[in-house]
Structure 1
Amino acid sequence: MSHETSRTIRLHPDDDVVIALQDLPEGTKVADGVTLSGPVNRGHKIALRDIAPGASVLRYGQIIGVATEAIAAGAHVHSHNLGMGDHAQDYAHGSECRPLPAVDEPRTFQGYHRADGRVGTRNYIGILTSVNCSGSVARFIAEAVEKSGLLDAFPNVDGVVPLVHGTGCGMSNANEGYTALFRTLAGYAGHPNFGGILLIGLGCEVMQIPDLIGKARMREDGNFRYMTIQQTGGTRATIDKGLEIVTALADRANAATRAPAPVSELVLGLQCGGSDGYSGITANPALGAASDLLVRHGGTSILAETPEIYGAEHLLTRRAVSPEVGERLIERIRWWEDYTRRNGGEMDNNPSPGNKRGGLTTILEKSLGAVAKGGTAPLTDVLQFGEPVTKPGFHFMDSPGYDPCSVTGQIASGSTLIAFTTGRGSVSGFKPTPGLKLATNTEMFTRMSDDMDINCGDIVSEGVSVEEKGLEIFELLIRVASGTRTKSEELGFGGAEFVPWQIGAVM
């Protein structure tokens, strides 16, 4: 990465473009004696040479698309003259798999030790729903708990979280959509950030509670209860019974206290949303450095959002610990190509309008920046949506690029922390898991300081190194794991971001 001037940055010596670091007017002189032929906004690309129609365009030293028309040196390069092109990669499974060195001095955090051996970073009571039809009653119970002040007697309990969603019925009980929902509900029920769980159903839904509790042990500590509205006697009776159960769950959960645990027990979900042209320069590689630090401590990180690594998946397969792991990732890529085709979409349906306003043009360009969140560690495993993590290291989990849905899968897989990079300014939270917001640029960090936890824009504006910023993120992750509240937690986010992935027909 090199700064050509204080106004632009070139990310790789082979690149055909530089990135504007500020809004630049027509006539501005940039790298290699090139003069802008028109105005270019901050985060957008400028051609360094004449590019012929059909020629590949490089950023990060990688192809981000092909010119759809002749592009002159000094021109703005964006969706009007840059397209996707053919997608073909050399996957070279495992060819660049290099284990990271272990740390010399192990670190600890203050966490909640659970009966199954995992360690939580929070201590919530969850009200989990098997179907949308029980969602309102779950919220009624949570509201009644809050109004009554019931939890005042249990200072070690962080709160009650109603987990309400839009599915659970009108679906097959024998397809991948049902299986994904089952994994999600089971993953939340046993999550170490919950000290207790109440599962509520209506009674007649496809996702039957007896099936859930019969096929999976919901919690090793036994602090789990369930009921259906139909069997309990309707809304009022269920609310009354729910308050009684939550009180009992909270009494047991309150006995848990924070105690030292090795950082190797942490599981970090890596996310980005509202990306811009700075995402692949600042916050994403800095988060990648933090992820590598966690893996070096024996911990676990999970990258996700399969449509948002499309075009950069070869960078992950080359880090796979085995050909089988690499092939599992490519199998998910092929599944997505078929899935989007069948549903009248396309893999280049991303970037979003906001991403494009921020300077990102094709999914290849966005993906190359998004993969940077995964650092350089070997790819240990590829998981289905919500599939439990069973080994330490860097993982990839299959999911949509829709952030609340993707994070829901990461939490179901076991993430006890979320780190979320954003350039446009995403706002969200993910109870029961605390989420850090990492700003890619100083301007947005300043404008939305109530929502952002760390400014990564100083990598460009102040010359802070990616490694220094990665260490700053890592240290804050340890503090948050030990109880420090994030900006999203202070604002009360997390009540609307439980979004299981709906796959298949709604009937």
Structure 2
Amino acid sequence: MDTFMGYARKDGRVGIRNQIAVIPSVFCAGKVAERIAYQVPGCVYFRHPVGCSQVGEDLEVTAKTLIAIGKNPNFAGVVVVGLGCERFSPYELAEGIAPSEKMLETVVIQEEGDSLAAIQTGSKIAREMQQIASRQTREEFPVSELMVGLNCGGSDMTSGLIANPALGYASDKLVSQGGSSILSEITELIGTEDILARRAVDDEVANSIRGMIHLTEEKLRRQTKGSTNKDRTHLISKGNYDGGLSSVVEKSLGSMKKSGSAPFSGVIQYGHQPDKKGLFLLDSPGHDGEVSTGQVAAGAQIILFPTGRGTPTGFPGIPVIKITGNPKTYIKMKENIDINAGTVLKQEKTIEQAGEEIYQEILEVASGKQVKAEILGHDEQFCVTRLP
């Protein structure tokens, strides 16, 4: 079995980064959280627009997602920052993260007195956590301890033909050794439900796959009914059309190839984590940020991101490996793209060889190699979903 060098966590999981997360419980505390993180190298923050004026399941999704982000093994410690009067209490957030047994402290602005006092307190806590984390060393672990998210954005015709199948090869190799992969973007899998269901480990999982995709299709039908602007009802963007994709069916057939051919072990609801290993289908919208956020909340330490048209985006504390099947895109966006699978289009490599390159990149990144999005400071993909 292949191995990588990671960080052991007290809850038994393994991180591939060793950063301190600064997480606000509500949007009102976002700027204070940002300033705390900026004061201390090795910190990342998670600004979001939610945490108050939400009710029911909408607020529950926010709570579960933020808690799960804090429990992700890439973070050695978490500083929770609250305002003090929000509907999602900072203490509830901290209590939810606590079972991970990582370093954890809470700073509440109204209790500290003002923003400056909260920043000072939070920075001191984060600095102390970072000093402790800096003394931890990497250890060798089997790839069965890895979970990766399979996402994509800015797709063109080379995505479904080259980059996604190559990623599917890498995903299959990881899953065959006991690791885990998460496929999502349900809006971009419409029409593939029966194909995916045939790969389910049992009838229960097969029915869950069909039900999840059918429910998403029904939601889209309701949301677009009566729209006065037909352009607002399209599931694929102008960039997708310009890149050679003709319909959502074509896009879906290409999108599913990210998952390779491994059997589906189960389905995951947004904000939840699987209790076993294997290939999973995560219920989420098609928005790149909401997909990555759901995958990180599920426990993914790495995001694999094919992009035919090219995109610079990254995720705080989670390396996002960019892959393109378009050699022209790689040349234009070389400082943003990690893997040029366009070598297949130029007949320099096979799909399998490109897939092996992606797999080896996963091992290197898991062992500490920084991806280009990390180096450039891109963190745009964090985005907590809100229910319609």
Identity of aligned residues (%): 40
The answer to whether the Cα contact below 8 Å between 1:127 and 1:197 also exists between their aligned partners in 2 is yes
Of 345, 355, 366, 1:460 maps to 345
- Say if 2:89 is the partner of 1:185: no
Equivalent residue letter for 1:503: L
Alignment partner of 2:136: what SS?
coil
Secondary structure, aligned partner of 2:359: helix
Q: What residue is the counterpart of 2:262 in the other structure?
A: 377
How big is the shift at 1:497? 2.5
Structure 1 contact 348–363 (Cα < 8 Å) conserved:
no
Write the mapping of 1:367-406 to structure 2, written as runs, cut at 5 A: 367-406=252-291
Shift of the alpha carbon at 1:406?
Answer: 0.7
Alpha-carbon distance change, 348 to 218 in structure 1, aligned in 2, over 3 angstroms: farther
Q: After superposition, where does 1:187-336 map in structure 2 within 5 Å?
A: 187-214=68-95, 216-336=96-216
Q: Does 2:7 correspond to 1:112?
A: yes
CA contact (8 A) 1:303 1:395 kept: yes
1:469 is matched with which residue? 354
Structure 1 CA distance for aligned equivalents of residues 150 and 201 of structure 2: 20
Q: Is residue 315 of structure 2 the alignment partner of residue 425 of structure 1?
A: no
Contact 2:172–2:260 (8 Å) recurs in 1: yes
Alignment map for 1:7-18 (pairs within 5 Å): none
Show the counterpart of 1:341: 221
Q: CA deviation at 1:437?
A: 0.5
CA deviation after TM superposition for structure 1 residue 255, in Å: 2.8
Instruction: Look up the match of 1:91.
Output: none
Partner of 1:143: 38
Counterpart residue identity of residue 206, structure 1: R
SS in 1 for 2:303: strand
SS at match of 1:485: coil
Paired position in structure 2 for 1:169: 52
User: Which residue is 1:33 aligned to?
Assistant: none
For the pair shown, the structure with the greater C-alpha radius of gyration is 1
Deviation at 1:170, TM superposition (A): 1.3
**1:316 Cα deviation after fit:** 1.0
Provide the C-alpha distance between the structure 2 equivalents of 1:233 and 1:183, rounded to a whole number of angstroms: 28
Given that residues 292 and 375 in structure 1 are in contact (C-alpha distance below 8 angstroms), is that contact kept between their aligned partners in structure 2?
A: yes
Counterpart Cα distance in 2 of 1:279 and 1:442: 11
- 1:215-266 deviation line (CA, Å, top 9, x unaligned): x343433400112211221111101111111122212222321110001101
> Which residue of 2 is the match for residue 121 of structure 1?
16
* Alpha-carbon distance between aligned partners in 2 of 1:143 and 1:434, rounded to the nearest angstrom: 19
CA–CA separation in structure 1 for the residues paired with 2:13 and 2:35? 31
* Secondary structure of residue in 1 paired with 2:159: coil
Deviation for aligned residue 1:294 = 0.2
Residues 143-180 of structure 1, C-alpha deviation per residue, up to 9 Å, x if partnerless? 233xxxxx4xxxxxxx11011101111110x22x2222
Q: Is the 8 A contact 1:272 1:420 kept in 2?
A: yes
When structure 1 is superposed on structure 2, of 224-233 and 302-311 the one drifting more is 224-233
In 2, distance between residues paired with 1:465 and 1:400?
32
Comparing 454-463 and 345-354, the one that deviates more: 345-354
Q: Could you tell me how far 1:140 is from its partner in structure 2?
A: 1.5
Corresponding residue SS for 2:344: helix
The answer on whether the counterparts of 1:386 and 1:411 sit within 8 Å (CA) in structure 2 is no
User: Partners of 1:432 and 1:297 in 2: how far apart?
Assistant: 25
CA RMSD of aligned residues (A): 1.6
Q: After the TM superposition, list the runs of 4 or more consecutive aligned residues in structure 1 that deviate by more than 4 angstroms.
A: 345-348
Higher RCO (C-alpha under 8 Å, 6+ residues apart): 2
Q: Quote the residue 1:365 is aligned against.
A: 250
Q: Is the 8 A contact 1:186 1:218 kept in 2?
A: no
SS at match of 1:457: helix
Q: Which amino acid counterpart does residue 167 of structure 1 have in structure 2?
A: V
Contact 2:9 2:73 in 1 (8 A): yes
The answer as to whether partners of 1:138 and 1:164 remain within 8 angstroms in 2 is yes
CA contact (8 A) 1:161 1:431 kept: yes
Q: Quick one: structure 1 residues 419 and 217, their matched pair in 2 at CA, closer, same or farther if it must change by over 3 Å?
A: closer
Give the C-alpha shift of residue 307 in structure 1: 0.1
CA distance in 1, matches of 2:160, 2:102: 44
Equivalent AA in structure 2 for residue 164 of structure 1: R
- Structure 1 distance, partners of 2:271, 2:345, is 36
1:344–1:298 distance in 2 versus 1, CA, 3 Å? same
CA distance in 1, matches of 2:193, 2:271: 20
Note if contact 2:7-2:137 (Cα within 8 Å) is conserved in structure 1.
yes
Worse overlay, 274-283 or 340-349:
340-349
CA contact (8 A) 1:223 1:252 kept: no
Answer 1 or 2: which has greater helix percent.
2
SS of the aligned residue for 2:323 comes to strand
Q: For residues 98 and 164 of structure 2, what CA distance do their matches in structure 1 show?
A: 35
TM-score, length-scaled by structure 2: 0.95
Letter in 2 for 1:142: A
- Paired with 1:112 and 1:405, the residues of 2 have a C-alpha distance of 26
User: 3-state SS of the aligned residue for 1:139?
Assistant: helix
- Using the size of structure 1 for normalisation, the TM-score is 0.73
2: CA distance between counterparts of 1:359 and 1:220? 45
Equivalent residues in 2 for 1:42-57, closer than 5 Å? none
Q: Deviations over 1:432-475 (max 9, x none)?
A: 11111101111111111111111111112125211111111101
Q: Does 1:503 align with 2:387?
A: yes
For 2:137 and 2:235, the matched residues in 1 are separated by 44
Kindly indicate whether the alpha-carbon contact (under 8 Å) linking 2:189 and 2:213 is maintained by their aligned counterparts in 1: no
- The answer to whether the 8 Å contact 1:189/1:219 transfers is no
In 2, the alpha carbon distance for the partners of 1:143 and 1:249 equals 15
1:131 Cα shift? 0.9
Change over 3 Å in CA distance of 1:348–1:398 after alignment to 2: farther
SS in structure 2 opposite 1:272?
coil
Q: 1:474 to 1:222 in 2, by over 3 A?
A: closer
